Amino acid sequence: MSSMELYIAIAIMALVNFLTRVFPFIFFAKRDLPQSLNFIEKFFPATIMTILVFYTLKDINFSLYPYGIKELAGIFFTAVLHLVLKNYLISIFLGTIFYMALVQYL
């Protein structure tokens, strides 16, 4: 692949990415959101949090040392963050960083 083909591919991917992000704002600018999108907007963050909890716990063997303490500490930390800050994005972001730090450094 030549450099020009690479630049064209990157430009096309950037344009497609931009359009997928802008499309909802253009399409729904003068209309109310459909009920299905309101439902997704309301419940999607909690669904993502639930998926992350199951993903964290799926391969843990609680009968072997360290008994899943790092994972449970990460979940507890994230839950406390969310109860205090009431912000899904910050809770998920900081909870993930905390969990990854526990896994890498302890």
DSSP calls for 7-34: HHHHHHHHHHHHHHHHHHHHHTSSSPPP
Domain identity same for 82 and 93? yes
Which residue is it, tokens 């729904």? 28
Domain identity same for 61 and 46? yes
> In which domain, by residue range, is 20 found?
1-31
| pTM for this model (two decimals) | 0.64
Task: For residue range 85-96, list pLDDT tens digits in order.
Answer: 999 889 989 999
User: What percentage of the chain has pLDDT greater than the value 90?
Assistant: 55
Q: How confident is the model at residue 29 (pLDDT cuts 50, 70, 90)?
A: confident
Q: How many domains does the chain have?
A: 2
Domain identity same for 46 and 88? yes
CA distance 44 to 19: 22
